[in-house]
Chains A and B, each alone.
Chain A
């Protein structure tokens, strides 16, 4: 038996009683001795001792079969007989190169997962969604939005019919199924002059938008094409799938790090949503411009439409784009107008 005594505390099984003592170990046995009289309190075989995975800054305690425990006073003491395997995590956690590597790798990996991995999975999983699911999703979304923000259209029937005809003609020219691509009009104070597409192919145009563009039928057509683009690329479902997937991934990786989820990820996940959404707007813009040209109209129609919407916005509020660009779900209007005007078909 070695003469090396480890000072610590022995806790009796299932009780709050404890005793200061010393532990001595040899190759096969551990002995606990009383601090004063050097009486043996306990003598156990090493094979009957359990040691939890060592952790930096935490004492390595011995758990005995009956429920008793010996906790060394020195938190840095490690028992000679522990297997090298159990100390693996601790060695990694103390390794300076690995800590440095983590600091560099974690943001890179997160970026890769959130901006490359998840969108790819979303595109794939969306291709698995059945048309019936998409239809149900679109209908339910519409019900919710109708309740919250939409009122029946006040437009005269004649105006509605004209636009519906223009819509039908456009669908025919593009070989699109008119049972999927449907156009509806609503009055909405909430959305004001706006249009949006639901995942199952219904496009909603507000009375306010029709009124705004009543002298510019070409511009309205460009906006309708932009919305068709959203449906064609399945943006609605992709966004929903990406939102779900990112929430799950962030919850798995940062599951219990409450503080960081609040401060950093709370904002970054909504920034992420908006970044996805900006990319999708660009995709839909490009679709609209390409189809305008294919159908023999001008790419400037789209620029005019955005310009008209922007002018309307400017009337309402003087907003500075350079800051709000980062916070908005759409690319800045000027960027979109320039893109449309300078577009050259490949």
Chain B
């Protein structure tokens, strides 16, 4: 697939003619998305959940179409009927599962075990569907993972890491990310991903350091709060406003703590994944997400959602998408003009919906 140009002399950079370099652009507007979001939820409730399939497609289309590289947007291609069918199947499976767990806990344990072994399949199908439904220019993405690799990476390695006092966990996480990304292709062009275990261990150490620091501060505040509760309950039997505010403050601190820890880890790993991935001769990536900036964003998002009783959700989602887009730089090379779409039709969204309903998070950061 080498472009036959005169520049084809040296091995690496020399042969690549970059035709574009720039940030990913995100054009979504909070006000606009608020309308889509609220009306879609209302319609979903009024149609007893049926419209939620349309709502999902419209939400995805809004975010994909507003994300642009070099002026070309992404497209979300799934149809509401595909989503609806998948969702109905997934919900039937979920109803059976939760009835069994609630009413027959012993058989429920067996079900959970069966679920563990079907999880790799569900994850693969979900990724396959999601990537096939993603298009940029007129070329769709694809995912080529297989059951065996998924079983090793999502089930066996994480379990093994428990028995090594989690010493193996960063390695297991690296393997998961490697698996998730190295099986992606853009049309007929496979991706090259080269993640390093050392970075994952570094990220884990930094995250643990931040967590310990945070815990010390948190416990000082919680201790003070605890003393204050005892004092107030001592002299009043009745309702007292401070008995409400202090637990709320502790809860807010707890959210802050979690978001900071999460932001630190996610930003280190996201930057590493983008920096180590490329579609050879087509595109390379760079991510410079700043942990502090991302933590502040996630924390203010959580606060806004809590204090507006959920109304700030569209604003929070748009803000996050914009920050992530701005932190991502893409370089496009000449090869990008000669990609051919190879994806065949007919895909079921069952597994993806099953993954959603059963709460398996497989987001590609």
Q: Name A residues whose Cβ lies closer than 8 Å to a Cβ of B.
A: 9, 11-18, 52-53, 55-59, 67-69, 71, 75, 89, 92-95, 98-99, 101-103, 105-107, 109-110, 113, 133, 136-137, 140-141, 143-144, 237, 240-241, 243-244, 247-249, 251-260, 263-264, 318, 320, 322-323
Q: In the docked arrangement, what's the CA distance between A53 and B65, Å?
A: 13
Contact B340 A14 (CB under 8 A): yes
Q: At the interface with chain A, which of B1-9, B40-48, B204-212?
A: B40-48
Number of interface residues of B (CB under 8 A): 78
Is B106 at the interface (CB under 8 A from chain A)?
yes
State how many angstroms separate the Cβ of A135 from the closest Cβ of chain B.
Answer: 11
Which chain A residues border B105 with CB–CB below 8 Å?
140-141, 143-144
Q: A14-B138, A136-B104, A140-B107 are in contact. List 6 more A-B contacts (CB 8 A).
A: A15-B138, A52-B61, A106-B42, A141-B105, A144-B106, A259-B316
Across the interface, B233 reaches (CB within 8 A) one of A11, A259, A318, namely A318
Given A16-B339, A57-B32, A256-B56: A140 and B104 interface contact (C-beta under 8 Å): yes
Closest to A255 in B: B52
Closest to B48 in A: A252
Is B15 at the interface (CB under 8 A from chain A)?
no
Closest to A18 in B: B137
Is B164 at the interface (CB under 8 A from chain A)?
no
Across the interface, B239 reaches (CB within 8 A) one of A99, A253, A255, A322, namely A322
Contact A244 B35 (CB under 8 A): no
Number of A-B contacts (CB under 8 A): 190
Chain B, residues 65-95, CB within 8 Å of chain A (1/0): the string is 1100001110000000000000100010011
Closest to B340 in A: A15
State how many angstroms separate the Cβ of B97 from the closest Cβ of chain A.
Answer: 10
Closest to A320 in B: B233
Listed by A's residue number, 15 A-B pairs whose Cβ atoms lie within 8 Å are A16-B139, A16-B340, A57-B27, A57-B65, A75-B27, A93-B39, A95-B35, A137-B102, A143-B105, A244-B95, A249-B49, A253-B41, A256-B59, A322-B238, A322-B239
Across the interface, B102 reaches (CB within 8 A) one of A56, A89, A107, A240, namely A240
Across the interface, A253 reaches (CB within 8 A) one of B27, B44, B138, namely B44
Q: At the interface with chain A, which of B142-150, B286-294, B301-309?
A: B301-309
Across the interface, B98 reaches (CB within 8 A) one of A143, A237, A248, A256, namely A248
Which chain B residues border A323 with CB–CB below 8 Å?
229, 243-244, 247
Contact A56 B45 (CB under 8 A): no
Is B338 at the interface (CB under 8 A from chain A)?
yes
Contact A16 B336 (CB under 8 A): yes
Closest to A334 in B: B237
State how many angstroms separate the Cβ of A88 from the closest Cβ of chain B.
Answer: 11
Contact A244 B317 (CB under 8 A): no
Contact B52 A102 (CB under 8 A): no
Q: In the docked arrangement, what's the CA distance between A301 and B30, Å?
A: 59
Which chain A residues border B309 with CB–CB below 8 Å?
107, 264
Contact B244 A15 (CB under 8 A): no
Is B22 at the interface (CB under 8 A from chain A)?
no
Given A89-B54, A99-B35, A106-B45: A15 and B139 interface contact (C-beta under 8 Å): yes
Which chain B residues border A240 with CB–CB below 8 Å?
102-103
Closest to B88 in A: A252
Q: In the docked arrangement, what's the CA distance between A58 and B67, Å?
A: 10
State how many angstroms separate the Cβ of A1 from the closest Cβ of chain B.
Answer: 27
Contact A55 B244 (CB under 8 A): no
Shortest Cβ-Cβ A-B pairs, 3 listed: A252-B49, A320-B233, A14-B341
Q: In the docked arrangement, what's the CA distance between A244 and B65, Å?
A: 36
Q: In the docked arrangement, what's the CA distance between A217 and B179, Å?
A: 65
Q: In the docked arrangement, what's the CA distance between A94 and B32, Å?
A: 8
Which chain B residues border A95 with CB–CB below 8 Å?
35, 39
Contact B28 A256 (CB under 8 A): no
Q: In the docked arrangement, what's the CA distance between A320 and B95, Å?
A: 39
Contact B38 A103 (CB under 8 A): yes
Which chain A residues border B302 with CB–CB below 8 Å?
263
Contact A320 B229 (CB under 8 A): yes
Contact B41 A57 (CB under 8 A): no
